[in-house]
Structure 1
Amino acid sequence: MAALSPAELEARLRLHALPAIGPRRMSRLLEVFGSASAALSAPASAWRSLGLPAEAAEQRRSPSTRDSAASALAWLEQANHHLLCLHDSDYPALLAELTDAPPLLFVRGDPALLERPQIAMVGSRRASKPGLQSAEAFARCLAQSGFVVTSGLALGIDGAAHRGALAGGRTVAVLGTGLQCLYPQRHAGLADDIVAAGGALVSELPLDCPPQAANFPRRNRLISGLSLGVLVVEASPSSGSLITARLAAEQGREVWALPGSIHHPGAHGCHQLIREGAQLVESVAHILESLQGWQMPLASVEEVASATDHPLLALLRAAPASSESLALSSRQALPEVLAQLTELELDGLIAREGNLWLACR
């Protein structure tokens, strides 16, 4: 699609600023009238004939709507700020497949990253320490394997996934607020790190949209829609992460889940997903094996899969252990064991908690 004229861009931003106009309604307006400019100038009766709220037709010419569009245009003048429009050549192809794909997508950072193969990682905001370690280790290994790790910038598993990805490659954060209303504020520094490392922050919402409970489940469809599949690391049965996983399944994406202890409430959501058909994964190798067409040059499936048969990993699957006890059990010198443990950790197969090593499950 050709680049939008300044007038059409401003018109789309005005439509986008209307609270009553969501993705489907905006797409409908563009389809019926041919452009946002024509939709804005159409009589109110034409809007009502499409089943649109009367207040939407009234608000489209309001000063607040014009001010919102002007603010967005000023934001777009700044470095690293972008707007992607549905049907444009640079709009992410996987996301465009959704029936409710966002007509406008605000991006801070590298928009080209959204076209690269992505793996989404989601989970509990109140994750356990082993859960956070697993998320970080899996994300690092996936990023090292050439995938972009996508998550929601929330506390807990999301934050750990972004940090792990930054240690191995790039990551995308999909927000449930406008890009000028970052939430949670505790992750403002992490958001800056993501952009500085060549990643991206993404939102379909108006730039000044504050946190609203209804927008976070809506955001989840973008996390899964951008990705080849979704990995749920730790979640209770009531977690929003299960919404993301079910959306992924509806969108035809892969769904993976890490199992955990039956005594840990944070594992029950993952177990529920597995019972419903999600793939149980214990290592990054299992994810790579299920994506045969997306093997990356930085870490082949064969290399990672061979690590799953490692004798030290077999010992750690039986029970967490210290480096010293592993050296005794495996009858190897401690320096050799430490070197092997480092390799397994880099592959995302094990994690360290205090002086103990444990298998990532």
Structure 2
Amino acid sequence: MLHHLREWIALSELPGIGPGLLLQLVQRTQTAPVELLNLSDDSLKALKLRPDTTQHILAYKQGKWPGDEYFNSIEAWLAEPHNHLISYASPDYPPLLKAIPDPPLMLYVSGDPGVLHLPQLAIVGSRAASRNGVELSKSFASSLTAAGMTITSGLARGVDGAAHRAAVELSRPTIAVLGSGLKKIYPRQHQRLADSIITQGGALVSEYPLSMPPLAYNFPRRNRIISGLSAGVLVIEAAKRSGSLITARLALEQGREVFALPGALNNPQSHGCHDLIREGAILVETSAQIIEPLASLLGSYHYEERQADAESVRLSESETLLLDQMGYQLVTLEQLIGLTGQPASVLLPQLVGMELSGYIENTPDGYQRLI
């Protein structure tokens, strides 16, 4: 079963030579990628590869690497339902991903590989997202899914997980790109979510060997696949130094649209989004502002931006006044006491009620208005 994939698996696991360099060598030597494994010893020396790279190629030519036991384990995985291997040369390889400078040579896929060809929008953001960030991720993912986009993300906690769940709850496919092998779902708490993604017709994707653990340096590299599969990337809550910013900047380099949600000035999780907007990302407040520039990918669709029904927001007169005084910036209890002239004993019951009703969020840094 693996005969036609053996060379691609070997190429993808060569040490010291990534997809970008490999494709450069292909152009330089005018050979097919798999033919690099069968070059003569003199030709290999002329390429001046790292010693360990050359040693592995020689071991491959001698039939010593990768071993039969390893290939048997992959074959057993492929025999299970919903598991697939897609090489760079396969007609099933997503064309949008193939267009990036360093496309992965192999894609391990659990689920429906056909969804990789659907129009996709990546949603990424903080693992430590606020409740507001999680709710925004769910809301945008639901609206975009309903409009015909397939949501792609990284299965991480916070924004990623919320986006995937929104699609799953609509019984629509979503794509999770992992920074580990597909036998090592990370984080472990998302194993059930990963199973649901497959059940609902989506896919789990990784370029890493099946048993690869979630090593820290895997995640920045997998981000190029998230952006590479997608027509655009939406960033919801990102600190100044975060994987989400890496994904967004990769998307810009790949010629994809980048969208960012603005946030409170004193919320550190908004600073990365503000940086992106200054660098040219599109500031968005509604799903329609994302769908419009990507509409050509969707064909004909009918979409209405749902607005909150003013009559459904029922607050007392004092709560309405308090909400107005809070504004949309983080505000502490002490600041609210100063703004309203009310003691804490009066404000706290109102704040607790408003939080339970979903109008505000009590964060470690203060209260944040949600509506």
Kindly tell me: are residues 78 and 46 of structure 1, through their superposed partners in 2, closer, same or farther at Cα, counting changes over 3 Å? Answer: farther
Query: 2:279 matched to 1:283?
Result: no
The structure-2 alpha-carbon separation of the partners of 1:353 and 1:287, relative to structure 1 and needing over 3 Å to count, comes to: farther
Note the alpha carbon deviations across 1:204-249, whole angstroms, 9 max, x for none: 1122221222211111111011001000010111111011111111
- Pairing partner for 1:114 from 110, 116, 131: 116
Partner AA of 2:154 in structure 1: G
Aligned residue for 1:56, secondary structure, equals helix
> 1:35-81 CA distances to partner (integer Å, 9 max, x unpaired)?
63x44343444223223212122224275622433322332222211
- 1:65 maps to 2:66: yes
Equivalent residue for 1:17? 13
Shift of 1:354: 2.7
1:151, distance to aligned residue in structure 2 (A) = 0.2
Report the equivalent of 2:200.
197
Could you tell me which runs of 5 or more consecutive residues in structure 1 were left unpaired when the two chains were aligned.
Answer: 316-320, 330-351
Offset of residue 188 of structure 1? 1.2
**Contact persistence 2:22–2:33 (CA under 8 A):** no
Return the match for 1:147 from 122, 131, 149.
149
Once residues 33 and 280 of structure 2 are traced to their aligned partners in structure 1, the CA distance between those partners, rounded to angstroms, is 43
Q: Using the alignment, how far apart are the partners of 2:22 and 2:211 within structure 1?
A: 19
Q: 1:179 matched to which residue of 2? A: 182
Q: Is 1:53 matched up with 2:50? A: yes
Q: Flag the structure with more relative contact order, 1 or 2, with Cα contacts below 8 A and sequence separation at least 6.
A: 1
Q: Which position in structure 2 is the counterpart of 1:242?
A: 245
- The 10-residue stretch of structure 1 (283-292 or 119-128) with the greater mean CA deviation from structure 2: 283-292
Indicate how the Cα distance of structure 1 residues 209 and 298 shifts in structure 2: closer, same or farther if over 3 A, else same. same
Residue in 1 aligned with 2:269? 266
Indicate if the aligned counterparts of 2:154 and 2:226 stay in contact, CA closer than 8 A.
Answer: yes
Which residue among 72, 77, 86 is the counterpart of 1:84?
86
Structure 2: distance between partners of 1:221 and 1:126: 21
Number of residue pairs matched by the alignment: 321
SS state at 2:16 partner? coil
- TM norm structure 2: 0.79
DSSP 3-state at the match of 1:202: strand
Deviation at 1:357, TM superposition (A): 3.9
Deviation, structure 1 residue 299? 3.8
Report the counterpart of residue 225 of structure 2 in structure 1: 222
Q: Is the Cα contact below 8 Å between 1:191 and 1:201 reproduced in 2?
A: yes
Mapped partners of 2:2, 2:76: distance in 1? 12
1:294 aligned onto 2:316: no
Larger Rg: 2
Q: Is contact 1:123-1:235 (8 Å) kept?
A: yes
**Distance of 2:110 and 2:37 partners within structure 1:** 28
1:356 to 1:74, Cα distance in 2 relative to 1, 3 A: closer
Structure 1 residue 17 displacement after superposition: 2.6
Alpha-carbon RMSD: 2.7
Q: How big is the shift at 1:322? A: 4.7
Q: Distance in 2 between matches of 1:166 and 1:360?
A: 24
Please say which of residues 113-122 and 11-20 is displaced more in the overlay. Answer: 11-20
Deviation at 1:183, TM superposition (A): 1.5
Cross-structure match for 2:166: 164
The secondary structure found in structure 2 opposite 1:356 is coil
Matches of 2:158 and 2:151 in 1, distance apart?
Answer: 15
Given that 2:120 and 2:229 are in contact with CA atoms closer than 8 Å, whether structure 1 keeps it comes out as yes
Which residue of structure 2 lines up, in the alignment, with residue 34 of structure 1? 32
Confirm or deny: 8 A CA contact 2:358 2:370 kept in the other structure.
Answer: no
8 Å CA contact 1:10–1:73 kept in 2: the answer is no
How far did 1:26 drift?
4.0
Structure 1 residues 353 and 145: alpha-carbon distance in aligned structure 2, compared to 1, 3 A threshold: farther
The C-alpha deviation readout for 1:86-116, integer Å capped at 9, x for no partner, is 2422111110111211121111100000100
Shift of 1:325: 4.8
Are the aligned partners of 1:220 and 1:244 in contact in 2 as well (CA < 8 Å)? Answer: yes
Matched-pair contact (CA < 8 Å) for 1:16–1:206: no
CA offset digits 1:162-189 (Å, max 9, x no partner): 1112123221000111112221112111
Query: What secondary structure is seen at the aligned counterpart in 2 of 1:133?
Result: helix
The residue identity in structure 2 corresponding to 1:151 is S
* CA spacing shift, 1:209–1:6, aligned 2, 3 Å: closer
Structure 2 residue matching 1:154: 3-state secondary structure: coil
